[in-house]
Chains A and B, each alone.
Chain A
Amino acid sequence: MIMRANWRAALIAILAVTGMVWLIGGRTDPSSIRLRSAPAGLTVNDGATLFAAAGCANCHTDRPHGGALLAGGRALVTSFGTFYTPNISSDRDFGIGRWTDIDFIRALRRGVGPTGKDYYPSFPYPAFTQMTDDDILAIKRYIFSLPPQRRADRAPVMHFPYRIRAGIKLWKIIYLREGPIEPDPDKTKEWNRGAYLVRAVAHCGECHTPRDLLGGVETNRRFAGANMAVDGVKAPDITPDPKAIGRWSVDDLASYLDDGLTPSGDIAGGAMAEVIRGTSALSNEDRLAIAVFIKAQAPIPPAPMQKMSQGG
Chain B
Amino acid sequence: MMRSVAGEKAGDDWWPRPACGRIDLHHEVEGNLALKIGVCLTRSIVCLILIGLIVSGWSEPCAAEDGLAATKHRQTVMDRLGDDMKAIKRYVTGQADQAAALSAAQDLDETASLVPSLFPKGSDSAKWPGKSAAKPEIWDNPDDFQQLLQALSAGTADLRKSVGTGEATNVQSSMRALAKNACGACHENYRGRRDGE
Contacts and interface: CB of A to CB of B under 8 A. Distances in A.
Contact of A265 (B85, B176, B195): B85
A312 interface: yes
Contact of A309 (B183, B184, B194): B194
A267 B187 CA distance: 7
B93 A311 contact: no
Residue among B86, B134, B192, B193 facing the most chain A CB atoms (10 A cut-off): B193
Interface in B90-119: 93, 118
B149 interface: no
B195 A308 contact: yes
Contacts of B77: 312
A29 interface: no
Interface stretch (A85-93, A108-116, A153-161, A253-261): A253-261
Interface in B61-90: 71, 74-75, 77-79, 81-86, 89
Interface size class of B (residues with CB under 8 A): 35 or more
* Interface of A: prevailing SS: loop
* Interface of B: prevailing SS: helix
Contacts of A234: 193, 195-196
B183 A267 contact: yes
Interface string B179-197: 1100111011101111111
Contacts, number: 95
A270 B188 contact: yes
B132 A232 contact: no
Given A264-B86, A276-B184, A312-B133, A270 B79 contact: no
Contacts of A255: 89
Contacts of A274: 188
B79 A265 contact: yes
Interface in A254-289: 255, 258-261, 263-270, 273-274, 276-277, 280
Interface residues of A, number: 31
A227 to B, nearest CB: 8
Interface in B149-176: 175-176
B185 A273 contact: yes
B195 A311 contact: no
Contacts of B78: 311-312
Nearest to B119: A312
A298 interface: no
Interface in A223-273: 227, 232-234, 251, 255, 258-261, 263-270, 273
Contacts of B81: 265
A187 interface: no
A286 B51 CA distance: 66
Contact of B93 (A251, A280, A312): A251
Given A265-B83, A273-B185, A310-B191, A260 B180 contact: yes
Contacts of A276: 180, 184
Contacts of B71: 312
Contact of A266 (B82, B175, B196): B82
Interface in B31-79: 71, 74-75, 77-79
10 contacts: A64-B189, A258-B176, A259-B179, A259-B184, A260-B184, A266-B82, A269-B192, A273-B184, A273-B188, A312-B71
Given A267-B85, A269-B187, A273-B185, 10 more contacts: A64-B189, A234-B195, A251-B93, A259-B180, A264-B82, A269-B192, A273-B187, A310-B133, A311-B78, A311-B79
